[in-house]
Amino acid sequence: MFKWLRDYLYFLYRCFVISFQGSGYFYTWMTFLTALSLIGLNAYCKQLVYGLSVTGMTDHVSWGLYIANFTYLVGMAAAAVMLVIPVYIYKNKNLGDVVIFGELFAIASIIMCLLFVTVDLGRPDRFWHLIPFIGKFHWPVSMLSWDVVVLNVYLLLNMHICGYLLYMKYLGRKPAKILYTPFIFLSIAWAVSIHTVTAFLLVGLGGRPFWNSAILGPRFIASAFAAGPAFIVLTLQVIRRLTGYKISDDALFLLRRIIQVAMVINIFLLGNEVFKEFYTESLHGASAKYLFLGLHGHNNLVPWIWSALAMNFTAMILLMHPASRKIKYLNIACVLAIVGIWIEKGMGLIIPGFIPSPLGEIVEYSPTLNEILVCIGIWATGFLLYTILLRISIPILKGNLQISLKYTQRITIKSE
Amino acid sequence: MSDSEKQEPGILDEKVSRRDFLKRSAVVASGAASLIAAMSPLRLMENGLSAEEFVQNHYKELSKEEMDKVIARLSKKIEERYDVDANLRDVKPMDGVEYVYALNLSRCNGSRRCVHACVNENNQSRSPEIQYISVLKMPKGTMDMEQGTRQYEPDEVPEDDSFYLPVQCQQCENPPCVKVCPVEATWQEKDGITVIDYNWCIGCRYCEAACPYWARRFNFAEPEIPKDRVNPDMGYLSNRPRPKGVVEKCHFCLHRTREGRLPACLEACPTGARIFGNILDPESEISFVLKNKRVFVLKEEAGTLPRFFYFFD
């Protein structure tokens, strides 16, 4: 028992040490991210002192960039399942070696999500009111309480799966199926649930017709399954180039097909929404009109949504065209999908829900510098965390970080 | 362990040279210094959080003694900040009472006296200014609020081609704001008034997004009330000064109405357009209005069942 504990603590210690070691590129990258994180922290401290008045949010548009990023990142976290399903259900070999990078990204994304929600709170000091049994948790009535549950459980699931598999690899032992496969299947369902619940958070508001649409949940999932794998495609290439970890082009092309299908469905669903909003010409279409065409001379979001649409369409066409079987064009399509969907479902979904207000007023929103710095800080923190997770897991997977020989005598070494 | 050159070093086998040690110390020190520098704005934080405030329980969980302590603490704070000896108390709802409001749109002349009386009564922040009542100037011939405006500054009201539609918290029987709150910081009391525990709200603003009547307001900054404008007649769940970062809204002046007085907006109305009372009392004026006038509610399709009715004479 104590040996087990000692080995595990020593493992954690080595992981800690290794996350500070690396090449010059690594140090430059980490310093850069740390600097951005600190700038974000500085901006957040200002917000703590002066309140949310340092943001562009108002009583009219009471959620802004923070919740927009939150919504987007829940999708990125859920998208890990697009690697998990091929590997564990269809036994795909190409993705088998890289599935863990998707799960690690899910961990980093969820942590970014939790940070984005926290910075959006007016009273972060009262976060404990949200803890079940200790605070006063309004479950199951409030959709936000559901979100707290599903996000945290999803985080734990992925931490367990990644942590367990990596530690077994470190020990040179074969992982026991019973200790991870049930969790993997649970995580597949759970990934869908986190994004569905996040959609329900908005769908459930009857007073906001722009969000009160049954199609929002499916749209969330489709866009997530396009943007998430697109991000993974880029990450895998960085890993391949910088660490020499073996990743086949076939793995990237399988992801390409996933992004392709998800993007087509995403655009199809968006088209459905646009038809419903514009063809009937009801008063409830005012938000959509504001978003796509501008309302009574207010048109802050119009250039954004049309660039998003252009990016999404270009990405879709590129992905369907054989040209994207070349990595270069695939990468272009991926970048377009990531940015296009970030605009469409971040700012393009959250902000118009508030415009016009329930009393018909139009007050536009634009984020302040401080708010943008906080967002950059959180993204940098997320990337910092993801880099550390990769820095630890790649040597383990390659067999370069494993338990010292002097400890291994009492366990059977798996011959490679 | 075939390629041992690539093996990641275990820290135990590593010898740290003097030079490396100095280098590492320098990195750690500059890291710590930049962390402190990044957090330096916190020095400007006013009204630091006290331990009692941090651990204070939900309103419904507080015993009588605990509530007395909370009230004593808050009163002291109010006195320190505003030089006011406040009569702060926790006014409970009465049995057999359900409050309902009605507003005669034929009489309302858009003077907005109600708006300002409300701000004065309820210790709303003056900077940034928070108002609970929105008076929409509407063109005649429509109930589409998008065609109305809150921004009107004529020399004289009423204007010929308009009518005025004041909107405030509708004290819904099926309140979406209460449903969405993740921490039960807002709830409906037995007299029908939806209240907020300002010491429990986490400031997520979900209720603000949920309200179909735009009745809720958030304290984006520390509220500012000039000392000579503070109303010392305060209720715990109503008009006591609010902290930064929480949501507030109209509460039918419960510290007045639960003690038999009328809401401040009603008293200020120059035309007598506002009628308030207990719907469970068949002799009340409000019961008469609901029985005999052709009343309607705003956004009936939202299914919120408002306790705020409108009618034209």
Closest CA to B252 of B306, B177, B312, B313: B306
pLDDT above 50 for B6: yes
- Nearest CA to CA, how far is A380 from chain B (Å)? 15
**Amino acid (one-letter) located at A3:** K
Q: What is the pLDDT of residues B217-241, one digit of tens each?
A: 999 999 999 999 999 999 999 999 9
pLDDT above 60 for A409: no
- Nearest CA to CA, how far is A121 from chain B (Å)? 5
Residue A294: helix, strand or coil by DSSP? Answer: coil
| Widest Cα–Cα separation across chain A | 77
Alpha-carbon distance B51 to B61, whole Å? 18
Q: What is the pLDDT of residues A7-61, one digit of tens each?
A: 999 999 999 999 999 999 999 999 999 999 999 999 999 999 999 999 999 999 9
Residue B99 backbone dihedrals phi, psi, to 5 degrees = -85, 140
Please identify which residue in the block is written with the tokens 């969405």.
Answer: B180
Please identify which residue in the block is written with the tokens 């399903």.
Answer: A85
Where exactly are the structural domains of chain A? 2-408
pLDDT band of residue B257 (cuts 50, 70, 90) is very high
Indicate the average pLDDT of chain A. Answer: 94
Which residues in chain B are contacts of A203 at CB distance < 8 A? Answer: none
**Cβ separation B209–A38 shorter than 8 A:** no
**Cβ separation B150–A136 shorter than 8 A:** no
pLDDT band of residue A413 (cuts 50, 70, 90) is very low
Alpha-carbon distance A157 to B288, whole Å? 60
Our count of domains for chain B comes to: 1
Q: What is the CATH number of the domain that holds B117?
A: 3.30.70.20
- Nearest CA to CA, how far is A319 from chain B (Å)? 37
Q: B102 - beta bridge partners?
A: B275, B309
A363 interface with B at CB cutoff 8 Å: no
pLDDT band of residue A403 (cuts 50, 70, 90) is confident
- Assess if residue B56 is contained within a domain: no
Instruction: Report A:288-317 residues touching B (Cβ under 8 A).
Output: none
Tell me if B131 sits within 8 A of B115, measured CB to CB. Answer: yes
pLDDT above 60 for B3: no
Q: How far is CA A298 from CA A278, A397, B62, B97, in A?
A: 18, 53, 48, 46
Domain housing B155? 110-261
Alpha-carbon distance B71 to B80, whole Å? 14
Alpha-carbon distance A15 to A36, whole Å? 23
